[in-house]
Chains A and B, each alone.
Chain A
């Protein structure tokens, strides 16, 4: 903002107000990174070093990679499981959200706002209010009893993955719809209208014009939604339940990791936290801009 342009004009003169601004920014960096820094440092220490050295300072004698070795071996199956449902669920809810936003924004019929309100409200509903019926629904559906699991020789616990795909897709649609809608509101109506006048059907206008235009928003939505689904614990907990299940997602396993009989092994917990966070951290580092956009909308 143009409130503080003085530094630029005055060249390199030290302005106390500017120093204050940068000191504040620095303090904030410390605040936001301290828990992560101590996590990194601790994840590389033996249990002895954890209790005897300062939590913010790396230890040379107490250096170890064992925590990561254990964390990876414990969490790797969970990460595969998480990917198995996070990827399909993300793509499905982004596609369906784009469809819904298109049908509710760039087409012409009355009652759109009414339907839209139901989508928006769906974002804010506390999931606790649907958990019992959700588990009932899948119990009645009985996916785990299907013959296909034994036919394919797959553990029928993987029916939990299918349930998680359906669940995350359904509950992801409202937010994806709203993200796409905010984008479609800015799409030029003249272009669509002239296409429609030239005889393009609603479907054709989507395929030829709207979908290609949506690419940047798809990036935003896919990134946002993948992070949400990967990070979720609640649905995994009630649908897969046991962290010992073959289909247990990474968040479920991490929640139980390190809480051993003899107390909490922090080095292992921290290593586990970083391993579990790896995909979302990678996405964040690579696509920070898109993530910020998804968050802000």
Chain B
């Protein structure tokens, strides 16, 4: 019969889970630790606010890449978040059963699995090849496109879990459907929607491939959104492979900055997903 007692099995599974979790977490902590150890010495005021030093010289900073990433991400959000939320709203409230809804849902789901380089190539062939120069607009377009399925899915799912009783209550009060959708259902679902937006933002903050095809890089301050623009991701890519000590240090610093951004977004998400009202939904 049983070689190991029930208690023994209980313990075995418990310790196995613990062991595997530890093994999985170690490399993650290792990466973060490595980035912190190597990057922390690079970070100072000059690093955050000045332009890169010319090749071969020490000092300088990555201010232009920080500003560039902020501009590109902001433009991507401006495009990706509204489109994503409206798509999710459409799927949850307006198009539950039709064939178009099914097609849109499948497309949204597949898009979130498409490699980011495909979005880069798409933006490259659509915009960069048309205007014949690298431009930050194309980068924002590619990243925004990547955000749409993530935001749409989060919006659809968190709106759909809102009970139908709530929709009936609103309808019975003579509240028009669009007000019900935006001010009641979306408002109840806003925690989930916000989480989706932040996670989508965190996701694009680390993407490099789409930027290589679109905004490329610049050693100067951004001059216009239709120009090539520096970004943290491409800076890391360029500098880490340069073999030049000062630049490699800058790449570590930039990596640390990216890790800080992504981790703080995740911490923010965790604190935001706590319910607003005690005992409420």
Q: Do A and B bind each other?
A: no
